[in-house]
Amino acid sequence: MFTTNPFIPMTAFVSPAVMQGYIVLMALAVAIGTAFDLLHEKNLQFFLQERQRTKAAATRQLGSMEMAAIATRTLVKDIATFGEFCNRHRRISHVLMFYGFVLYLITTVVMVFVYPADAHTPIAFPILWNIGALMTLVGGYWFFYFLRVNVVHDGQPPWHLVRADLFIVTLLASVTFALFFELATMAQNMAAIRVCAGLYLFFTTLLFVSVPWSKFAHMFYKPVVALQRRVEEADGSSTLPSSTTATPTMKGGARCPPSHT
C-alpha cells in the first residue's frame, strides 16, 4: 500500500506519452504565465526601475565576497526557512507546503518519465511521492483554515474566498484528488478511478494555467525581492527603516508586517 507507482493505472486510459506531454505543457504554462505576469502587471518594469534607483542611491559599493555572503543569508533565512514570516506557525506551514510540493513534483516527474508503465518502480519514489503530498496537504490545510489573513485578521469564515486564494485552493484540490485517485486504484474501482483522475487533472491544469491570476508567480519573485532588500540595507540605498532601529515585534528586533503576526 502506497508503495507502487500511482500513475501506472492511469495508462489504462491515457498513454505514457500523453502524460509526459501534459507535464511539459504545464511547465510551459508556468513559464508563460510568469512572463505574462511580469509584463502585464509591470513587475519587470518595477524591478528594473528599482534597481536603477538603488544604484544611484547607494552610499557604498559592495564587494564580491560581501555579495556572496548576502546571497547566502538570503538563501538560508529568507528562502530555505521562510524567514520573512515572524509568526512561527505561518513559517512551518509554508515550509511543509513548499518542500512537500517540491518533493511531490520531482517524484511525479521521475515516475511519469522514467517509470510510466513499469511495475518495478523503485519503492522509494512512490513513498516519497506520498510523503510530499501529505506534507503539502498538512501545511496547506493548516494555512487555509487557520492562518490566512482574511480568516485570522478580518474575521471571515474559511470558505470566504478571494482572488489571492486561487493558488492555495487549486493546489490543495489537485494534491487531494491525487491521493483520492491513488486510493481508488487500490480499491480497483474503475468508476472512482476515472472520476478522481478527471478531477485530479482538472485542478492540476487549473493550478498551472492560472499563474497570471494567482500567487503562483510570487514564489519566483520573493527570492529576488528578498535579495534586493538585503543588498539595499547593506549598500545604504534602502528607503525603509533599519531593522535595528525599527520598533521590533519579535525577538532580535526584526520587523514583522501586520499580516504576518
Instruction: Please give the sequence-ordered ranges of beta strands (E in DSSP) within the chain, or none if there are none.
Output: none
Q: Give per-residue pLDDT as tens, 1-28.
A: 688 999 998 888 889 999 999 999 999 9
Average pLDDT, the chain: 85
Per-residue CA distances from 182 to 160, 188, 218 (Å) = 30, 10, 30
Between CA 87 and CA 149 the distance in angstroms is: 12
pLDDT at 258: 44
Backbone angles phi, psi at 109, to 5 degrees: -60, -45
Residue 244 confidence (pLDDT): 44
What is the model's pLDDT at position 42? 66
| pLDDT over 70 at 251, yes or no | no
Query: What cell does 198 get?
Result: 478527471
- pTM (2 decimals)? 0.82
Domain segments of the chain: what residues?
9-236
Share of the chain above pLDDT 90, in %: 47
DSSP collapsed to 3 states, 16-38:
HHHHHHHHHHHHHHHHHHHHHHH
CB-based contact 184:196 (threshold 8 Å): yes
On whether the CB atoms of residues 244 and 253 are closer than 8 A, the answer is yes
* Band of residue 58 on the pLDDT scale cut at 50, 70, 90: confident
CA gap 176, 134 in Å, rounded: 9
Report the C-alpha gap between 120 and 12 in whole angstroms. Answer: 17
